[in-house]
Amino acid sequence: MPKPPDLRRSRVPRWRDVPRQDGRRFVVTGASSGIGLETARALVGAGAEVVLAVRDRSKGERVAAGLSAGPSAGPGATGRAEVRVLDVADLSSVHDFAEGLDRVDVLVNNAGVLGMPLGRTVDGFETTLATNHLGHFALANLLLPRLTDRVVVTGSRSHLHGRLDVDDLGWERRTYRPYAAYAASKLANLLFLAELQRRLTASGSTLRATGAHPGSTATSITASSGSAALAWVGSWGHRLAGMEPWQGALPTLYAATMDVPGNTYVGPHGPGEMQGWPTTARRAPAALDPDLARRLWERSEELTGVRFPF
């Protein structure tokens, strides 16, 4: 595997060339739009086999046809995309998806929601936490025995504002606020990243966990929020002030394909980590709290019924 470029902020290169991934298989959740789509596009272009894990099969099939046959594949590329249905907010869907897979090299936990009104999934979980954390927690642990390389966790700068109450993850005793729920779920992602790597290391596994965030990138993550203002900010606001999805996907691609240590967290290098090229990213002190990470992991196991397999 190629050595990564120097990640010191004073010498950040304009990294955008994903190394060849021929013969490698990736799963990308939420791959029909935004960061997930651009991640899949680049991986197929680098020769990888990419499983598009999507809720809407017909939309996924349209995307897959374009990735496998379109210009992103490049001359002589052997990459291809296939579609499998996955709703990460539904544990039965997560189990069905995991059971249908054999060997996978890299799992990219990308799907997410932002700005959702208070709601409950079919499993009784608060929707934002279920989509952004619990479903991906279960998926990663179910797939670990079939992975050969790594799990990539998608974070957000919003985790810096996150406050996580492990005893009230479902917002049953507190007043629900959509952005606070999102920030808490993103803090949960980084705690999951750190604890997963700790457990992998302790078990003697050679697998690794890495993470990334896209900075300010124009995506449709707020489209299902029910708020016209949030939907505009997610798509057009970030387009005016931030990056196009292809560049916002670069930190994820870096975390998924470069030879970086476990628990590496990547984001854009520019001011406030809003724009720029992949480099090491900042974490809030709470994201580095091992006791909080352990308690979240244990509670996540209780809620999902899925446990660390090693």
Residues identified as active-site:
182
For 149, the enclosing helix (H) or strand (E) is strand 147-154
Residue 267 to residue 255: CA distance in whole angstroms: 9
Among residues 247, 248, 249, the alpha carbon closest in space to that of 257 is found at 249
- Cα 296 to Cα 121, 142, 169, 283, 293: the distances in Å are 19, 18, 9, 17, 5
Other Cβ atoms closer than 10 A to 22? 12
CA 168 to chain centre: 23
| Cα dihedral sign, 222-226-232-237 | negative
Tokens of 202: 């302790």
For 294, the enclosing helix (H) or strand (E) is helix 290-304
| C-alpha distance across the termini of the chain, in Å | 26
Burial class (CB in 10 A: 0-12, 13-18, 19+), 224: middle
The residue whose two tokens read 């997930």 is: 36
